[in-house]
Amino acid sequence: MRMSKIKLPATALLLLALVGSAPLTASAPLSASAATAATQTSYVKVQTMNVKMIFDGVSIQPPAGQYAFIYNNSTYVPLRFMSYALQKSVSWDAKNVRVTVADPSSSELVVIKEYLMNLGSNASTAKNITLTKVNASYIFDGTNKKLPAGQSSFIMNGTLYVPLRFFSESVGHTIGWDQKTKTVTATSASYQGSEDNSGTTTPGGTGSATATPAPGAGGGSTSANPTYEQITSETEAKLTALQAQSRSALTVLALDYLSATDAATKSSLLSQGKQQLASFTASFNSIIADAEAKLTKYGYSTEIISQYRATFEAELQKGMSIAEGMNN
């Protein structure tokens, strides 16, 4: 559909135009399956909840900006956090919108333990968030797993959320959920093994998902440096997720604008759209800075960074030009 045929007020179109339509990455176009998933996305608004999470007897919480929530009577949790807490590796194929969860290599286990060491134990404050629905596919320990009918996957700020029961059954662990106390309880396979061998559980002992390893523990000296492809693939996955989130947030504002009846509300929504665009731009810059630092650290070319920036700036200017034209 051509822009001239869209029958929407100019100010609402401004919000949509600021989102942009091309990928924020400089890589090849998405595969057919990913493109199909993108065309079928939708957005939901939910309220997060304060959830206590206990893994291997120790209370930990997801990183800042990650949450648990209930949607259509199903509890949703961040997949990577849950996988790492159970000492499982996670890989994300952005082109095919596919997630693989498996037992980690020795080098991956070091990364997982470092991740867990940096987690806090304080629950986040409940808030309203907007997520993008994605048609992701899943492989757990080499087996394809399909979400039950009526359940979905969601992504926000690069974090993928899945139903807790689906994750529990797919990963092969019994994960408890106490609705009354809002508590998730689980144990990793290695922790269960240590219990079976010793007859007792020792917080911080071998196998504990939240144990603090000694310097170099877990094979740190043999940890392989990330490849150029791993760094750029991770970066592009984050950029794709950021783009989806920006579309989600700005489209919601545009729809709210259409239902507004007074000029003050419309002006406020437009202002919010511009503020969110500034926030997304800041997130883009943060992702790129992190990628550039990693490429430099491991001696790789940083030429692709300028390509990422050029693509982003071109789409940003294109959206702004369209918006300015519609306002004239």
pLDDT per position as a tens digit, 80-135: 999 998 889 998 887 778 899 999 988 888 888 888 887 877 767 788 999 988 88
pLDDT recorded at residue 157: 79
> In angstroms, rounded to a whole number, what is the distance separating the alpha carbons of residues 124 and 64?
8
pTM exceeds cut of 0.85? no
Give 120-159 pLDDT, tens digit per residue: 777 677 889 999 888 899 999 999 999 998 899 998 877 8
- Asked if residue 19 lies in contact with residue 284, where contact means CB atoms within 8 angstroms, the answer is no
Strands 68-71 and 74-78, sheet pairing: antiparallel
Q: Give the CB-side neighbour count of residue 305, counting CA atoms within 13 A.
A: 18
- Residue 35 banded pLDDT, cuts 50, 70, 90: very low
CA 297 to chain centroid, in Å, comes to 25
pLDDT at 24 over 50: no
pLDDT recorded at residue 228: 86
CA nearest 96: which of 240, 308, 305? 240
> In angstroms, rounded to a whole number, what is the distance separating the alpha carbons of residues 36 and 163?
22
Q: Which residue has the higher pLDDT, 235 or 46?
A: 46
* Tokens at 267, concatenated: 């002006």
Backbone angles phi, psi at 306, to 5 degrees: -65, -30
User: Can you tell me whether residue 203 is helix, strand or coil?
Assistant: coil
- Asked if residue 106 lies in contact with residue 185, where contact means CB atoms within 8 angstroms, the answer is no
pLDDT recorded at residue 38: 38
Of 25-29, 96-100, 169-173, the least confident: 25-29
- Mean pLDDT over all residues of the chain? 73
- Asked if residue 218 lies in contact with residue 113, where contact means CB atoms within 8 angstroms, the answer is yes
* Tokens at 122, concatenated: 């304080």
Q: Which residue has the higher pLDDT, 260 or 29?
A: 260
Top mean-pLDDT range of 189-198, 212-221, 224-233: 224-233
What is the amino acid identity at position 281?
A: T
The CA-to-CA distance between both ends of the chain, in Å, stands at: 22
- Residue 161 banded pLDDT, cuts 50, 70, 90: very high
